[in-house]
């Protein structure tokens, strides 16, 4: 399925970890193409290599073998500084535990990726727009401890958006939220995809999350065992 | 990331735990404070010393016997030597010569006694040494020729013996048991210790020779004071004195059996001593800054560990190694710089306090906080922060984002 606008194009991805003298084969050859605008979940039990795959797709780690092209750039053999730049420009992370900077306001939290991109003008404006798009325009000066879990995750989403990434990589985004906030977060993420065509990649073990996406990629023992479209439930 | 933002983030981080930041910089505060205080007290003391050396007079030279290790048997200085120095042809730069015999005696009166320095002098001595009298007169020609048993005393001596600093003219005192009449009291100059001019007494040189100070020959004197025409003539006077004495003592250049001191040479000695103190203080400062720096490194290591997840997050959104390095270096440099600045203020306050106490007990020391000391302290504080903050900052920047994000 490669060749037609793959934002994520992985080929023969292998990852071997060395635990002392033992080699652990976390990924044993993963081929993947995720198209622009798709909403995909990557699922699998622990030990399946799901987290390792996520780290490689998010450019937090390099594969031992294979190639990975993200938004047209070959990233599998970049050095640390170059990977940092790719992450900054092309990947928007949303973590299970939000990972906001506790001492800073929502606004400055959202501005963080722009500061590392060296953006000097217009940061404030883009950050405010991002916060407004997740419904927090009236809380831009609140600190994380003044926001609910759902609101904090929304700040994290705004932060992920602010540099216009090629994809948003969400790792169990509703894992630390109650069902109501979780639904809200999913609604916002899916809404971003509908309105702006933002590519979404969810890494989850929750089938209820997966059911809301368009495609599920199942991982087991370091390889893709299933890659199917989700049947849309009749509304 | 721009520097202004790094600065704000660093300040934020330090302010978030004020107690911890405060305790961390305590070492640097105390070290810098102590150094600034000591340096300024030292500068004040040096000013006092150079001031009193200057008081001696820029035209004054002191000639003493010996001073050259190579010369085994230095000839003593004599009254005839002093006379020879008065020769206007051989020594045109010299305007006056005052030989002195010095010793120490026990002075008693009304049951009180004291040990004081006694100087056997000629009448010109008062002019040469700028001695002013609070009451009475100085030793004159008559006293000198007649070997009169008269004495001019300092106000501290008067106080010890008579419980008053004036109104003692005509009183009788005993020097080594021999009666002397007080004919004058010198003006209070203020001073401490052995060089306290208020605790000295003057008798005619001839009287001293015959009654108080025994020397191997009649003619001998201990010091010859020489007054040059003016400050510019001092080095010429020095040459003339040396030439005359070499000829009289039959010594050659390089093997003088006498030494000529000028105000400049005293200043040199004073400066050498204060330089030694300064180097000593530098050592103390170095040690305290070292200790303070280790404290900073310790706390920064803790801080890095505590903020592992934060570092992981920053890297995930695009921070490079050097961004993280800069962030933590800024924090440690700011910590130590802050400590240095507070230390400077503390040191200033301390030196003011010492100055106040000194003034209360009549010791004339005016501490001066020099701009160079402040600048040095500031620069060194910042340097300590950078140096000792380097290792923790490096460890932070080397963290792997994946593992850092996983850290509990």
Tell me the β-bridge partners of B228.
B94
Q: What is the pLDDT of residue A4?
A: 62
Which H/E stretch holds residue B340?
helix B321-360
Contact B317 A95 (CB under 8 A): no
Rounded average pLDDT over A118-133: 88
Distance from CA of residue B335 to its chain's centroid?
34
The better pLDDT of the pair B362, A169 is held by A169
Selected residues 144-183 of chain A with any CB under 8 Å from a CB in chain B: 159, 163
Asked if pLDDT for residue B193 goes beyond 70, the answer is no
The pLDDT score that the predictor gives to residue A17 is 92
pLDDT band at A235 (very low <50, low <70, confident <90, very high): very low
- Contact between A84 and B320 using a beta-carbon 8 Å cutoff: yes
- The verdict on A112 touching B (C-beta cutoff 8 Å) is yes
Three-state DSSP class for residue B169: coil
Task: Name the least confident of A125-129, A188-192, B24-28, B39-43.
Answer: B39-43
Query: Touching check for B401 and chain A: CB below 8 Å?
Result: yes
Q: Give chain A positions within 8 Å (CB) of B318.
A: 84-85, 87-89, 113, 116-117, 163
State residue A232's pLDDT score: 67
Name the residue with higher pLDDT: A201 or B12: A201
Q: What is the pTM of this model?
A: 0.74
A1 band by pLDDT with thresholds 50, 70 and 90: very low
Chain B within 8 Å of A138 (Cβ-Cβ)? Answer: no
CATH level 3 topology of A6-229: Rossmann fold (3.40.50)
For residue B46, the model assigns a pLDDT of 80
CB < 8 Å to A88, chain B: 317-318
- Answer whether A117 sits within 8 Å of B320, measured CB to CB: no
Alpha carbon of residue B126 to chain centroid: 27
- Do strands B172-175 and B94-109 pair parallel, antiparallel, or not at all (unpaired)? antiparallel
Q: Please report which confidence band the pLDDT of residue A233 belongs to, taking 50, 70 and 90 as the band edges.
A: low
Residue ranges covered by each domain of chain A: 6-229
Q: Which chain B residue has the Cα nearest residue A89?
A: B318
Residues B243-276 have pLDDT tens digits of: 999 989 888 777 888 889 888 888 888 888 888 8
Strand order in the sheet with A22-35: A22-35, A6-19, A65-70, A73-74
Q: Is the pLDDT of residue A206 over 80?
A: yes
Q: How confident is the model at residue A25 (pLDDT cuts 50, 70, 90)?
A: very high
Chain A residues with beta carbon closer than 8 angstroms to that of B9: 104
**Which of these, B291, B342, B389, lies nearest to B22 by C-alpha position?**
B342
How far apart are alpha carbons B120 and B201 in whole angstroms?
9
Per-residue pLDDT tens digits for A42-61: 999 988 999 999 999 999 99
Of the pLDDT bands very low, low, confident and very high (cuts 50, 70, 90), residue B191 is low
State which residue of chain A sits closest to B6, comparing Cα positions.
Answer: A115
pLDDT tier, B400 (very low <50, low <70, confident <90, very high otherwise) = very high
* ipTM topping 0.90: yes
Residue B12 contacts A where some CB pair is shorter than 8 Å? yes
Question: To which residue do tokens 């010859």 refer?
Answer: B224
- Chain A residues within 8 A of B317 when measuring between CB atoms: 87-88, 93, 112-113, 116, 159
Q: What does the pLDDT average to over B324-346?
A: 93
Q: Are A30 and A189 in contact (CB under 8 A)?
A: no
Q: Which residue of B has its CA nearest to A120?
A: B2
Six-digit token pair at B111?
A: 């049951």
> Hey, are the CB atoms on B317 and A113 less than 8 Å from each other?
yes
CA nearest to A131, candidates A104, A159, A150, A103: A159
Instruction: State the pLDDT at residue A214.
Output: 94
Contact B13 A103 (CB under 8 A): yes
């Amino acid at each position: 399925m490669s060749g037609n606008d793959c934002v994520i194009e992985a080929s023969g991805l292998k990852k071997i970890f060395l635990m002392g003298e033992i080699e652990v084969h976390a990924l044993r050859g993963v081929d993947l193409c995720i198209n622009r605008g798709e909403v995909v979940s990557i699922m699998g039990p622990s030990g399946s290599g799901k987290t390792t795959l996520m780290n490689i797709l998010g450019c937090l780690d390099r594969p031992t073998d294979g190639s990975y092209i993200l938004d047209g750039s070959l990233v599998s053999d970049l050095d640390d500084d170059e990977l940092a730049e790719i992450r900054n420009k092309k990947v928007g992370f949303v973590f299970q535990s939000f990972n906001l900077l506790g001492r800073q306001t929502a606004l400055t939290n959202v501005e963080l990726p722009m500061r590392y991109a060296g953006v000097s003008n217009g940061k404030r404006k883009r950050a405010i727009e991002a916060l407004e798009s997740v419904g927090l325009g009236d809380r831009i000066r609140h600190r994380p401890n003044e926001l609910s879990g759902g609101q904090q995750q929304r700040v994290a989403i705004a932060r992920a958006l602010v540099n216009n990434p090629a994809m948003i990589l969400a790792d169990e985004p509703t894992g630390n939220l109650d069902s109501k906030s979780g639904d809200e977060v999913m609604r916002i993420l899916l809404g971003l995809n509908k309105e702006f065509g933002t590519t979404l990649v969810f890494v989850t073990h929750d089938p209820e999350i997966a059911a809301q996406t368009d495609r599920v990629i199942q991982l087991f023992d370091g390889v893709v065992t299933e890659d199917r479209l989700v049947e849309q439930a009749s509304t | 990331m721009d520097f202004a933002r790094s600065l704000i983030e660093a300040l934020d981080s330090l302010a978030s735990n004020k107690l911890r930041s405060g305790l961390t910089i305590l070492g640097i505060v105390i070290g810098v404070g102590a150094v600034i205080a000591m340096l300024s007290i030292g500068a004040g003391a040096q000013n006092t010393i150079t001031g009193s050396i200057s008081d001696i007079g820029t035209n004054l030279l002191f000639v003493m016997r010996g001073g050259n290790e190579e010369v085994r048997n230095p000839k003593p200085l004599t009254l005839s030597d002093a006379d020879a120095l008065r020769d206007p042809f051989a020594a045109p730069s010299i305007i006056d010569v005052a030989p002195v015999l010095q010793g120490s005696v026990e002075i008693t009166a009304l049951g009180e006694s004291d040990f004081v320095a006694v100087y056997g002098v000629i009448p010109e001595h008062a002019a040469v040494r700028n001695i002013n009298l609070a009451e009475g007169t100085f030793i004159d020609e008559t006293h000198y020729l007649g070997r009169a048993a008269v004495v001019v005393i300092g106000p501290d001596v008067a106080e010890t013996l008579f419980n008053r600093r004036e109104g003692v003219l005509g009183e009788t005192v005993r020097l080594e048991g021999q009666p002397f009449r007080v004919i004058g009291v010198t003006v209070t100059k203020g001073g401490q210790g052995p060089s306290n001019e208020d605790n000295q007494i003057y008798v005619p040189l001839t009287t001293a020779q015959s009654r108080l100070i025994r020397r191997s020959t009649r003619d001998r004197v201990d010091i010859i004071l020489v007054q040059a025409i003016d400050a510019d003539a001092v080095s010429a006077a020095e040459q003339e004195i040396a030439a005359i004495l070499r000829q009289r003592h039959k010594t050659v250049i390089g093997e003088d059996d006498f030494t000529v001191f000028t105000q400049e040479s005293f200043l040199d000695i004073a400066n050498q001593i204060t330089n030694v103190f300064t180097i000593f203080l530098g050592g103390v400062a170095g040690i305290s800054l070292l200790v303070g720096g280790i404290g900073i490194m310790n706390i920064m290591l803790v801080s890095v560990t505590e903020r592992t997840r934060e570092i992981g997050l920053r890297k995930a959104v695009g921070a490079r190694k050097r961004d993280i390095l800069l962030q933590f270096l800024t924090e440690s440099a700011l910590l130590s710089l802050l400590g240095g600045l507070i230390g400077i203020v503390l040191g200033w306050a301390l030196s003011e306090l010492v100055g106040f106490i000194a003034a209360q007990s009549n010791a004339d020391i005016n501490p001066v906080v020099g701009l160079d000391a402040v600048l040095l302290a500031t620069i060194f504080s910042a340097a300590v922060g950078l140096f000792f903050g380097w290792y923790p900052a490096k460890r932070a920047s080397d963290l792997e984002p994946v593992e850092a994000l996983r850290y509990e």
